[in-house]
Chain A
Amino acid sequence: MEITAAQALVRCLEKENIEIIFGIPGAAIAPVYDALYNSKIKHVLVRHEQGAVHAADGYARATGRVGVCMATSGPGATNLVTGIANAYMDSVPMVVITGQVNTERVGTDAFQEVDTTGITIPITKHNFLLKDPAQLGETVKKAFYIASTGRPGPVLIDLPGDVTSSKIKFKYPENVKLRGYKPTYRGHPNMIKEAARLIDKAQRPVIYAGGGILNSSACGELKQLAETIDAPVTNTFMGLSSFPGDHPLYLGMLGLHGTRYANMAITECDLLIALGARFDDRVTGRISAFAPGARIIHIDIDPAEIGKNVKVNLPIVGDVKQILQALLTQVKKTERPEWHRRILELKDNYPMRYSREGGLKPQFIIERLYAETDGDSLVVTDVGQHQMWVAQYYRFKNPRMLISSGGLGTMGFGLPAAVGAQLGIPGQQVILITGDGSFQMTIQELSTVKEQKLPIKIFILNNQKLGMVRQFQQVYYEGRYMAVDFLFHPDFELLARAYGIDGFTIRSEEDAVSMLPGILESPGPALVNCLVYPGENVSPMVPAGRGIDEAIEFAEGENTL
């Protein structure tokens, strides 16, 4: 029997066990929406396409499955662009479906036409412009396969309206044939053997674990390796929650706003074991001063990451979980008391600290939230100072418990990502920690929160500023603060009420202590405006161009207005 390509697309999505699509309809994608009318796939209508793509992203990160979002041609598609780039930078599996003008109009500057595949080449793992309706099944199969295998990433399918309206004989292929795409999963046995040898020989190893650990579900193997070879572990921002935050071997996050002891351990180590991490500039600081005395083992599924930023002594390409499993059979159980004495010394000499003088400190809120939730909440953040304070002061217990925009640093990611995460794991407590700057960039999705009855608890760490930019201007532009102060804010408590959501204001430590338990236990969504001390800086901080062991901390007087 013949069905339309749009109906076939919906069948494909059902075959891929897609439960939820985030999107906004429009003319060019109308045939697909019509086909969804009779499907059991839930469609979540967001308020802006950026919300759809971030929600699909949050859904994918929370569940480990492929997120799907949909938009129409032209502005629908361009509104997705930021979110696609975000998913690409953070290696999130996603399939993006866009409508396109009819094939005979493609290239004529038609109404709501934009070259969607052209625009998204640099920010997708791959994309397709489907011109032949008969190839729909094969294309969708390929899209899901590419998005979810190897190093995951977003794949876009652009569908002209006449293509989705055409009748086709539908068959969903069982397998895909892609001769240009063959990810490597198994590490080279000789390389693994050599890695075990280097580890046994090392005196002061450090494990530097990134988001790849989470993507390959290798948290158990990571912990086992750390404990077997008795090596301290530091996480990249993307790697947070891959190693228990309260583990004695844990050093916290490294890099620009990392702990000083993690950064110094890197500087002093003689073997750096990089697992699913990419030596990003926010991690390494001045490259020549990064792990200067160390041999480097780099394990990653993406061969292009190896040797891109730093020279590596031993590269192993493959799935980090499989490689660690193989490696674990070869490394010796070791103890390194001397190295641990040194690490403890570093931890004692350079502890994470902030002063509680001067008002309600944002770090205090994070610590309270951690204490109140026992580290069991799924934390979603936006981008800025609050994001770094979460990274520093919330100790993640379980994998995938932090969802945040790492690589692209997209302000406005938080609220829609929280929507997607909560829909992905309905029973899980989701808290969004955001800033007054980020939150207002996608504030319209409060409607989606209410409409979908999502019990998300939103905490705005409100300093009435673009705090991270302000800190940047303090450090690099001698305090010439330009365009960082918000002279007007809506009354967030009232705003919450306008959306039918409970609103609260926290003004002091006492408020925080007394109000947080009730807010967290309330059944519905809540918006909590936390009026924090506005002069607080993120500390420590590695100044631009310096080695990561040269972090500065802000003295009391330097956290000023």
Chain B
Amino acid sequence: MKHTLSVMVENQPGVLARVAGLFSRRGFNIDSLAVGQTENPAVSRMTIVVEGDDRIVEQVTKQLHKLIDVIKVGDITAEKYVDRELVMVKVNADAGQRGEIMLIADIFRARVIDFGRRTLTLECTGDEGKITAFEESLRPYGIKEMVRTGKVAMLRGTRFTSVENSGLDQDVE
């Protein structure tokens, strides 16, 4: 089963290497990893999607927590959260197909962000299911190039994950 971990880390050089290295040397599979600064510039947030049974995910969480630069680890899978991914797709688009593709873009509320002689580049955001469906519907036209950011996630409502406050403090002790 896929788990979504929200990991708050010190915004320091080497942190990504520590986290990525931990996954590879312990044989954990990362589905996606997205990292960026938070509202606090000293803190970065990683959203890591990891595949595994509960025991594996428990180990991942505990091992992450052992890293000194990791401030907080939360498994938000069972919580109510919103998640988004961004994709950019460069798709074959001859003059005759452009209309159809624009229609698809419209359905997915995607946007055209670049225009080539025989291609269109589209961006789309959404949860994983939507992005995958978007990709599938463009596939028949021939995808030249695609890049996905990996998922970022946030708790719903007033609850929040942050370093100082404990909306969802899933510190593993």
Contacts and interface: CB of A to CB of B under 8 A. Distances in A.
A483 interface: no
Interface string A105-140: 000000000000110011001100100000000000
B18 interface: yes
Contact of B173 (A121, A129, A180, A184): A184
Contacts of B17: 118, 121
B68 A180 contact: yes
A303 B13 CA distance: 26
B90 to A, nearest CB: 34
Interface string B48-67: 00000001001100110111
A126 B65 contact: no
A303 B14 contact: no
B163 interface: yes
Interface string A308-323: 1000000001000000
Nearest to A179: B71
A184 B173 CA distance: 7
Interface residues of B, number: 24
Contact of A304 (B9, B63, B68): B63
A179 B163 contact: yes
8 contacts: A129-B14, A180-B9, A180-B10, A180-B69, A181-B68, A303-B172, A304-B62, A304-B66
Contact of B21 (A122, A126, A179, A302): A122
A184 B65 CA distance: 12
Given A121-B17, A180-B10, 4 more contacts: A121-B14, A122-B25, A303-B65, A317-B173
Interface residues of B: mostly helix, strand, loop or mixed? Answer: mixed
Contact of A302 (B66, B71, B72): B66
A178 interface: yes
Contacts of B65: 303-304
B70 interface: yes
Interface residues of A, number: 20
A112 to B, nearest CB: 21
Interface of A: 117-118, 121-122, 125-126, 129, 146, 178-181, 184, 302-304, 306-308, 317
B18 A121 contact: yes
A308 B26 CA distance: 12
Contacts of B71: 179-180
A127 to B, nearest CB: 9
A481 to B, nearest CB: 34
Contact of A307 (B55, B67, B72): B55
A303 B58 CA distance: 10
B59 A308 contact: yes
Contacts of B163: 179
Contacts of B18: 121
B70 A303 contact: no
A304 B62 CA distance: 5
A306 B17 CA distance: 25
A303 B59 contact: no
A125 B25 contact: no
B43 to A, nearest CB: 9
A509 to B, nearest CB: 48
Given A303-B172, A304-B59, A146 B68 contact: yes
B60 to A, nearest CB: 10
Nearest to A311: B55
A122 B21 CA distance: 8
A321 B77 CA distance: 36
A178 B18 CA distance: 17
A126 B65 CA distance: 13
B67 A180 contact: yes
A307 B62 CA distance: 10
A122 B20 CA distance: 11
Given A308-B59, A317-B173, A178 B21 contact: no
A304 B65 CA distance: 9
Contacts of A306: 62
A336 to B, nearest CB: 33
Contacts of B21: 121-122
A126 B58 CA distance: 21
Nearest to A142: B68
A68 B71 CA distance: 27
Interface in B98-147: none
Contacts of A308: 59
B58 A125 contact: no
B68 A126 contact: yes
A470 B48 CA distance: 46
A178 B172 contact: no
Contacts of A117: 14
A311 to B, nearest CB: 8
B62 A303 contact: yes
Contacts of A184: 173
A147 to B, nearest CB: 11
Given A118-B17, A122-B25, A303-B173, A178 B68 contact: yes
Contacts of B68: 125-126, 146, 178, 180-181
Contacts of A307: 55, 58-59
A178 B72 CA distance: 12
Contacts of B172: 303
A360 to B, nearest CB: 44
Interface string B133-173: 00000000000000000000000000000010000000011
